[in-house]
Amino acid sequence: MSAYLARFLDSELREVMASHPAALVVGPRACGKTTTTRRHSGSVLRLDVPAQAAVVAADPDAALRGLDEPVLIDEWQLVPEVLGAVKRTVDDDPRPGRFVLTGSSQADLTTSGWPATGRIVRLTMFPLVGRERHGDPTSASLVDRILSDGTDVFGNPTSSWDLHNYVDEALTSGWPEALRVSGDRARDRWLTGYVDHLVTREAPSLGVMRDPGRMRKYLHVLAANTGGVPTHKLLYDAVGIDRSTAVNYDNLLDSLMITQRVPAWAGNFMDRAVRLPKRYLIDPGLLAPLLRVDHRRTLRDSDLLGRILDTLVAAQFRAECAISIVGADMYHLRDANGRHEIDLLIEARDGQVIAIEIKATAAPSRTDARHLEWLRERLGARLALGLLVHSGPRVFGLSERILAVPIASLWSS
């Protein structure tokens, strides 16, 4: 991959900068924030460059004067005082399109007191997903289109995809730099280096973690449980840490946007539901360096294959929820006795629900949709659509408001 791939953020940033004085883009390190925001900027302040950071730290207000706008302030959290300077500048002159800030940690929004509420619009960026790599990233959120058009949204994939292709899609990752290198070995080195940097440099820089070895082991356990609902005790016992340390690790990794805890859905008919969050790595490509897996091993291990596909599909919907205009949040659902489980459940602000089951099979049947049908009977009209996402080639109906959809149709429709 060499040419620039348009991102969801391009459209969002154009819209925000046409009406607001500033935007703040948060996302994991190396997901493409700087590359994309540079295309929308007139000048750049790189606070990961010590000389530039020193100038800004000495007098943040003066450092912002006279620069061509929009001014990109890259990695703002390295000199957090700059956020106050941006606030003061846009207070004095609230013209649209003045500043774009990027950051690799969500924690700094809280520690800095977030003084710019109402002035700076916060946008989220993730690693590349299928619609950015293979489809049209300029169209509306898939979530919004499903809620508006239902089953009419989906068509068969425009090219041939099978299980081998989906495993490749997942393990090559969505990190732009990893996709740019040539060959599997080079990509593996890049992803391994990414994890090394995370546990030895990035996490310690936030002052929470003192043992890179244990952090790496904790990430390994999370990778082995991605797409699952492990108990807290299972996680911290596997690493030999106490609950307090595990909570700190979880908060740190979520802040760095490397992991996500998808909460359990609290439907009013679910009195005996599992309340634990579902755990995900933010990008399935991280499983390769953390679990030392490749294409061949994945296809020979049904549990691993299921987790990788679940993580791949969750990444698509996470990004689509982030750009949804109607507003949507992602959950999972599992009853306490284990009889019913929905892999992902997306709830819009108006209460409409999209339910998603993910199967590795290329030939799904109505039996595979039994949990979706169970949910439909309980939600009634609130269920906008149930999706059985599979590895086969065709879109087809399974029952009322329940559709079998190839994974590739999530980005080619």
Specify the amino acid at residue 377: E
Let me know if residue 296 belongs to a domain: yes
Per the structure, how many domains does the chain have? Answer: 2
Same domain, 387 and 294: yes
Q: What pLDDT sits at residue 383?
A: 98
Task: Indicate the residue among 72, 105, 124 that finishes a domain.
Answer: 124
Amino acid at position 27, single letter? G
Tell me, yes or no, whether 340 and 406 share the same domain. yes
CA 19 – CA 399 distance, rounded (Å): 44
Beta carbons within 8 Å of 200's beta carbon, 6+ residues apart: 212
∠ CA 286-292-297, rounded to 5°:
105
Do residues 306 and 121 lie in contact, with contact meaning Cβ atoms separated by under 8 Å? no
Q: Are residues 369 and 235 in the same domain?
A: yes
Q: Are residues 99 and 149 in the same domain?
A: no
φ, ψ for residue 155, nearest 5 deg = -130, 170
Residue from 46, 96, 94 nearest 70 by CA: 96
First to last CA, the chain: 23
Q: What would the pLDDT profile of 355-379 be if each residue is shown by its tens digit?
A: 999 999 999 999 999 999 999 999 9
Please tell me the predicted confidence (pLDDT) of residue 337: 79
Question: Are residues 239 and 189 part of one domain?
Answer: yes
Asked whether residue 2 is assigned to any structural domain, the reply reads no
Instruction: With a cut of 50, list the residues of the chain below it in pLDDT.
Output: none
CA 221 to chain centre: 19
Question: How far is Cα 299 from Cα 346, in angstroms, rounded to an integer?
Answer: 29
Residue 335 lies inside a defined structural domain of this protein:
yes
Task: Give domain status of residue 3, yes or no.
Answer: no
| 276 and 393 co-located in one domain | yes
Exposure string (b/e) for 346-369, b if CB count within 10 Å is 16 or more?
A: bbbeeebbbbbbbbbeeebeeebb
- Residue-number span of the structural domain to which 180 is assigned: 130-412
Taking CA atoms, 410 is separated from 86, 157, 299, 400, in Å, by: 38, 9, 22, 20
CA-CA-CA-CA torsion sign (287, 108, 53, 210): negative
Pairing of strands 99-103, 22-26: parallel
| Single residue among 124, 158, 184 that ends a domain in this structure | 124
Please check whether residues 168 and 102 belong to one and the same domain: no
Whether residues 249 and 191 fall in one domain: yes
For 186-209, the DSSP string reads HHHHHHHHHHHHIIIIIHHHTT--
Preceding peptide of 212 cis, ω within 30° = no
On whether both 74 and 138 belong to a single domain, the answer is no
Same domain, 137 and 120: no
Would you tell me how many other CB atoms lie within 10 Å of the CB of residue 44?
Answer: 18
Q: Is residue 1 part of a domain?
A: no
Q: How many residues does the chain have?
A: 413
Q: If you search the block for the tokens 């393990």, which residue do you land on?
A: 171
In angstroms, the CA 250 to CA 262 distance is: 12
Same domain, 150 and 231: yes
Q: Which of 66, 89, 124 is the last residue of a domain?
A: 124
**Residue 301 within any structural domain of the chain:** yes
Q: Give 365-371 contacts, CB < 8 A, sequence gap 24+.
A: 365/398, 366/398, 366/399, 368/398, 369/398, 369/399, 369/402, 369/404, 371/340, 371/341, 371/342
The pTM of the whole model exceeds 0.85:
yes
Residue 42 lies in a domain: yes
Assign residue 110 the CATH number of its domain.
3.40.50.300
Q: Please tell me the predicted confidence (pLDDT) of residue 269.
A: 64
Same domain, 305 and 358: yes
* pLDDT single digits (tens) 65-94: 999 999 999 999 999 999 999 999 999 999
pLDDT of residue 127: 98
Q: Is 288 helix (H, G, I), strand (E, B) or coil?
A: helix
